[in-house]
Structure 1
Amino acid sequence: MQVHCTCTHPPMRFAPSSSFSKFIGFSKHFHTLIAPSSPKLSPFVLAATMSTDTLPTQNHTTATTTQRPLQVAKRLEKFKTTIFTQMSSLAIKHGAINLGQGFPNFDGPDFVKEAAIQAIRDGKNQYARGHGIPDLNLAIAERFKKDSGLVVDPEKEVTVTCGCTEAIAATILGLINPGDEVIVFAPFYDSYEATLSMAGANIKCITLRPPEFAVPIEELKSAVSKNTRAIMINTPHNPTGKMFTREELDSIASLCIENDVLVFSDEVYDKLAFDMEHISPTSLPGMFERTVTMNSLGKTFSLTGWKIGWAIAPPHLTWGVRQAHSFLTFANSTPMQWATAEALRAPESYYVELKRDYMEKRAILVEGLESVGFKVFPSRGTYFVVVDHTPFGLENDVAFCEYLIKEVGVVAIPVSAFCLDPEDGKNLVRFTFCKDEGTLKAAVKRMKEKLRK
């Protein structure tokens, strides 16, 4: 089943150069930069160069080596190595400071790690209950009440998943049928498109544009049809740092109620809301019954490798989520679930300190990028900031990121990798500030010394 994508913005008018054309589409970004001469940097290049048919004959005296083409289902053939894997590999190859992929270079809090160690020592190491250990489900419900004011049933309305990425996958695969329309806001987190492809969905794309990345409400209204099943929202928004305003969310809610549309709300950065209040769409009147709210431990507690996430939804939607979850991962790391329950019961002072720390990191990076000469757009949430790279004269975001890595020694992510139409992101790149102060200052110093307009 293939995905049929319909974008509501005008057709492309940009004629890409020959060097850029090979990068068009998410799947090809930087694929050619991971050179066959260094196969260990890319599992796809490695697979292509390995013998996949070295089979002994019956007398075991000779072997035949044949290179076979890579095989993948048509619904996934456009999605090669993710842009984050590729950028991290290039960072290693060129000794660049990685301000691309959004993982902290510092560790999570000791009290959470100690809780995991204690759980292991206490023998909590076998399969957990499929939808989560009871204590974690309860802790999620308690935290959700503090954040949104909503009371949810931890047993019937909370499902623990393998990170928010699996929550997204279980939600889409459990609730979307082939042919259903799903509206996404571009630029968007890369797993949305791939998972919608696996579900056989028809994607409609609404582009958020700088400087404010505001939702074009009239365009959204025109995009909703009788076939629209769901709208995907990410607030605070990766990659732009935008936060959906109450006015925008009220308009979306009205559209959904009027047209019987679901909302899938990715809120992994909810504790990194800097300049305005985070509003969960499910908390708006009439929205809980039609919303799946997804979140995780990793961003808030700097433990991205633990991959503990969750989905909160009313029972009639939770059923579909759990059906898919049962056949994706079934259950998740038991000791890490116990530790996550401990984390979610952290005092409010933890969240205050977290926010203050990230606002200081944001200031270092934003001020540094502005001093280098970038046009920097507001980052009101997440730990990302998007800039316009065009003052430096490169033809597009991919060319700029390649130059930045090879010649300057700093990694950023091309925003076109988050768009159905690469034209929509070709002037923008994303930096992350989830790094220690020294790393951020070192990256700014390199750019000041080596980046030329």
Structure 2
Amino acid sequence: MQKKINRKLSDIQISGIRQFFNMIGQYEDVVSLTIGQPDFSTPDHVKNAAIDALQNDRTTYTHNAGILELRTAISNYVEDSFALTYDPLNEIIVTVGASQAIDITLRTIIEPGDEVILPGPIYPGYEPLIKLAGATVKYVDTSQNHFKLTADLLEEAITEKTKCVITPYPSNPTGVSLTKEELRDISQIIRDKEIFMIADEIYSELVYDQDHTSIASFTEIRDHVIVINGVSKSHAMTGFRIGYLLAPEWLAQQILKVHQYNVSCATSISQYAALEAIKNGQHDPKVMKNSYQERREYVMNRLDKMGLEYIIPDGAFYIFPKFPSEKSTFEAAVDLVEKAGVALVPGSAFSSYGEGYVRLSYAYSKSTLEKGLDRLEKYLKG
């Protein structure tokens, strides 16, 4: 019977991040700086909104695209924050996390034989969804270009089979963002081509040295762009599983068909919690962002003293330093766990273009970061 399973799954493995995280569970006294999980509690007013939804029996199916109040709040938020205009009635879909938004978008636009361009190193969650949708992945090596996908690199990678480009900025694992000018240059490449662009902007509230610019703000490519976002990182609501996508009406209504048969609708209680977060929790991300920025400065200071090279991260809560070792990055990361009791994600989890690097998440308390970096420093000296 095993031969009857979908053959596309044979080449798909559990995420390298999760594989490594699960593996280190067998070791005692390990400081893990691996997972991109905010260490803040969900704000009390958001939790109370979820409780209120339960007590008032808001536990039934909602509109497939999500409750209109939430879609309206999202519309107002993206217009105020990023100058994006999307109609809450027919251009916004509330999803089960950003991951489901990416999945249903790919299943809407992808056909067998298509190619999807990914800038490597990159979060490993995209490639399996692309393959399951029937397309192939074409990586662009950004490791020699400050981990940025540029217009020149993109133009060189495009072929007649290219159906979609994914731009995940701020980036997981590198923390790098693109400037408004760099995004404008990319938009000029896309504007005259029949190519979609999925802009994964889940970390848009966590940008430190510049304002976040959405590529969808360039109106000439609006019909090409699907924006993915959510409340997981901005409001410490990972378990609520609420994301959303923004797309022109003609495309959003096709994606809605896939969404409808996939999950019917996002969880009603979580939707009301997200409504409270977006409508009345504008200050919440700022508090978290300020703390992450302090941690970023601390981590960079420590890495500088250790002599480790890195590109300064200007978003998210990751840093991606080069790791000096003659071993593979995975072997070096295991050695680090075994000999020093500190865990960093091997860069190879983020495609072959991450080899030679490790990802450190600073979404941890200052005391945890200090303890982990002390151990890392001792390991490197030894």
1:348-385, CA deviations, whole angstroms, 9 ceiling, x for partnerless residues? 43333222111011122222233334223211101100
Q: 2:332 aligns with which of 391, 400, 412?
A: 400
Task: Find out whether 1:89 has 2:18 as its counterpart.
Answer: no
SS at match of 1:387: coil
Task: Count how many residue pairs are aligned between Structure 1 and Structure 2.
Answer: 381
Coordinate RMSD, CA, aligned = 1.8
Q: How does 1:27-38 map to 2 (within 5 A)?
A: none
Q: Which runs of 5+ in 1 are unaligned?
A: 1-67
1:442 corresponds to: 371
1:316 corresponds to: 250
1:432 corresponds to: 361
Whole-angstrom distance in 2 between the partners of 1:447 and 1:188: 24
Q: CA deviation at 1:70?
A: 8.8
1:285 corresponds to: 219
8 Å Cα contact 2:199-2:226 kept in structure 1: yes
Judged with a 3 Å threshold, the aligned counterparts in structure 2 of structure 1 residues 347 and 216 are, in CA distance, closer, same or farther, namely closer
2:11 corresponds to: 78
Q: How does 1:60-71 map to 2 (within 5 A)?
A: none
1:15-52, CA deviations, whole angstroms, 9 ceiling, x for partnerless residues? xxxxxxxxxxxxxxxxxxxxxxxxxxxxxxxxxxxxxx
SS at match of 2:199: strand
Whole-angstrom distance in 2 between the partners of 1:71 and 1:371: 55
Task: Find out whether 1:410 has 2:353 as its counterpart.
Answer: no
Whole-angstrom distance in 1 between the partners of 2:276 and 2:171: 27
1:59 corresponds to: none
Judged with a 3 Å threshold, the aligned counterparts in structure 2 of structure 1 residues 120 and 348 are, in CA distance, closer, same or farther, namely closer
Q: 2:54 aligns with which of 109, 116, 120?
A: 120
2:310 corresponds to: 376
For 2:44, the aligned partner's letter is: D
For 2:327, the aligned partner's letter is: E
8 Å Cα contact 1:210-1:377 kept in structure 2: no
Judged with a 3 Å threshold, the aligned counterparts in structure 2 of structure 1 residues 407 and 320 are, in CA distance, closer, same or farther, namely farther
Larger Rg: 1
8 Å Cα contact 1:140-1:344 kept in structure 2: yes
8 Å Cα contact 1:144-1:151 kept in structure 2: yes
SS at match of 1:301: coil
Q: 2:96 aligns with which of 152, 162, 166?
A: 162
Q: 1:305 aligns with which of 227, 239, 243?
A: 239
Q: CA deviation at 1:139?
A: 1.1
Q: Which runs of 5+ in 2 are unaligned?
A: none
Point out which structure has higher relative CO (alpha carbons under 8 A, 6+ apart): 2
Whole-angstrom distance in 1 between the partners of 2:242 and 2:234: 12
Whole-angstrom distance in 1 between the partners of 2:341 and 2:255: 42
Task: Find out whether 1:129 has 2:63 as its counterpart.
Answer: yes
Whole-angstrom distance in 2 between the partners of 1:87 and 1:124: 39
Whole-angstrom distance in 2 between the partners of 1:131 and 1:214: 33
Q: CA deviation at 1:265?
A: 0.5
Identity over the aligned pairs, expressed in percent?
27
TM-score, normalised with respect to structure 1: 0.80
Whole-angstrom distance in 2 between the partners of 1:97 and 1:164: 28
